[in-house]
Structure 1
Amino acid sequence: MADVASPIRVTVWGEGRHEKRDATVAAHYPDGMHATIAAGIREHAGAAVTVRCTTLDDPEQGLPDAVLAETDVLTWWGHIAHDEVADELVDRVQQRVLAGMGLVVLHSGHWSKIFKRLMGTSCALRWRNGDDRELVWTVDPTHPVAAGVPSPIVIPAQEMYGEFFDIPAPDELVFVSSFTGGEVFRSGCAFRRGRGRIFYFSPGDQDYPVYHHPDVRRVIANAAVWVAGPAREVTPIAYAPTGWFE
């Protein structure tokens, strides 16, 4: 583990597939969702982090031993290629989490091999892609991941995720979402496995520009700092309203 005074080493992993196949996704994320996620972490965590991106189609599926050994926090976004992730890679990521590496799982990463392995459940949920509005309500304003985040976060268009969400009871529940159709969802969940911390945050379907939303970016940056562990935590940057919806 790096020295406490050194930046948190964040690796942003993504499939990198949708933007190559879908013009709508490419328009939202011309450099890939992983690049936009990484930019948000840099923007809000600043000098507290160093961030690099890697994808499924990179050598060794983007996470060779050398990269994992130099990663304090791994963020994971996957959707259409969960089955392509090698079981051997899942084993290595699991061992790193148990040894203390932080993991931030985003949106459809709920069905990734690594998240299901660490949860021990199917991680299945209800969903509907119909331009729902999502309101992300803070239910634990004292949690570090909620620092500087308004309640609710208003996401004008987003895929609906709804209960029942087949996960173990979170160690801490930070956010709950509601949708246009009346559905609710545990959208921000914290877990501990071995020495590692895990945070699941659901907003972020590829069909919508959600990772450009300043409050979503703030949550992900806060989560990256929090899962790094107590010795690596820094004081979150003060929140300033952005007028994003004006």
Structure 2
Amino acid sequence: MNSNNPQCANLQERVTILLQLLQQEPSLRTQQTSTAVESSLKKAIAPKFEIVFAGAFSAGKSMLINALLERELLYSAEGHATGTECSIEYAEPDRERVVLTFLSEAEIREQVQMLCHKLNLNASGNINQGEILDLLQQGCEAIIAAEGGESKSERAKQAKALSLLLEGYISNRDRIQTIRNATYSMEQFNFSNLAEAAGYARRGNNSSVLKRLQYYCHHPLLEDGNVLVDMPGIDAPVKKDA
């Protein structure tokens, strides 16, 4: 519903008056809830329409969104599945920004254990120990080489996912909390613009340890309240992502 439509003039005021009248009638107040009406009012005043991109692992969802927005925002590469939920909504040119939320160390450990189990790699050690990380990385490299490349088989893709996860954990250890999902603004990374922030988030090792990305981007496609949502593949190597 377009809030500029004459029928929507003073819509919030009119609905509020009706809800107040509802609350004044005891028999109606106890039988009716205004939650649904209030929710619909918010959508009418500031409408948002989520367009969700879903599909198979490495099917090109991120590439399609980048093409639609004519900007390289999301990570896109053959053989790599986005494990991060990304939403992109409208912002004025001088208000562009990104909010980054990281996986917790506990979630990363869980993913490492799961991928190691699939790959028959020993994951009994502590990922905070350098020698353990080195052994796991060597195991991933051996699997990828034996499979003929990182995108040649499901096993190779899982090995690449584990390798990126370990690299991301090492690179971003100071930003990752033990149990909590740490959230950072673009300014906390000293990024001066959206392009710099997107460049960081697009790197495979960084994207592997990001739980959620919220982009606020200036583009006509988003101006009417459209929100583009990029989801992990329905057959992503990490089961929780799928």
TM-score strictly above 0.5 = no
Higher RCO, 1 vs 2 (CA within 8 Å, ≥6 residues apart): 2
Please give the range of the TM-score, normalised by the shorter of the 2 chains.
Answer: under 0.3
TM (normalized to structure 1)?
0.23
Higher normalized helix content (fraction of residues)? 2
| TM-score, L = length of structure 2 | 0.24
Larger Rg: 1 or 2?
A: 2
